[in-house]
Amino acid sequence: MRKLHAWALATLALFLAPQALSAQSLTEAAAKEKERRKVVKGAKSFTEDDLARAGGAGASVNALPESTPEEAPKEGQAAPAEKKDEKTPDELKAEANAAWRKRLDAAQQNVRTQQELAGRIQNDLNDTSGGFYGARRTSLVAYLEETQKKLADAQQQVSALEDEGRKNAYR
């Protein structure tokens, strides 16, 4: 019983200690940011819309840059030359192959991660020192089932990507 009590206290300390440290650092960071903003008064902040209008790609991962309409030439200026950087079919296929390979690698990494997680959970379940009928064991069983479902989904995604690769002759 003493070991269980000591274990519970140690676990609680592990969870609370980083939160206390991060609260101090967050407070300090907020104070530093407030001081920095006082110093930098006239600075202009740029938004993604500003970047899109300027022709930049923007910083967002979720949003694609908006395409700007072609401007008509002003008086005294020549019309812009047509884009001659059109890609050949081989270049397009190489890009599609690279994108497919990247998706496949990410899906395979997801499978490895889920397998490793399921293995760790199973090892915890195999440890019978905590007993067979505790709340921890019940939650581990539920977590293992959830992880196995995610693993099956990840394996199905890898299989679908491999089928897509065979269909399109990707290597």
- CATH numbers and ranges of domains, the chain: 87-171 (1.10.287)
Q: What is the pLDDT of residue 134?
A: 78
Greater confidence (28 vs 9) lies with: 28
Q: Give, in degrees to the nearest 5, the angle at Cα 41 between 35 and 46.
A: 110
CA dihedral for 130, 132, 138, 141, sign (positive or negative): positive
CA dihedral for 149, 111, 113, 124, sign (positive or negative): positive
Greater confidence (5 vs 150) lies with: 150
62 near 69, Cβ under 8 Å?
A: no
Average pLDDT for residues 75-83, to the nearest whole number? 55
Q: How far apart are CA 65 and CA 48, in angstroms?
A: 9
Q: How far apart are CA 65 and CA 72, in angstroms?
A: 21
Greater confidence (117 vs 40) lies with: 117
Q: What is the pLDDT of residue 61?
A: 46
Greater confidence (78 vs 138) lies with: 138
- 25-29, 71-75, 119-123: which range is least confident on average? 71-75
Nearest to 66 by CA among 80, 79, 52: 52
pLDDT band at 7 (very low <50, low <70, confident <90, very high): low
Q: What is the pLDDT of residue 4?
A: 58
Count of beta carbons in the 10 Å neighbourhood of residue 49: 10
Q: Which two tokens stand for residue 98?
A: 């690279």
Greater confidence (15 vs 142) lies with: 142
pLDDT band at 58 (very low <50, low <70, confident <90, very high): very low
Q: What is the pLDDT of residue 160?
A: 92
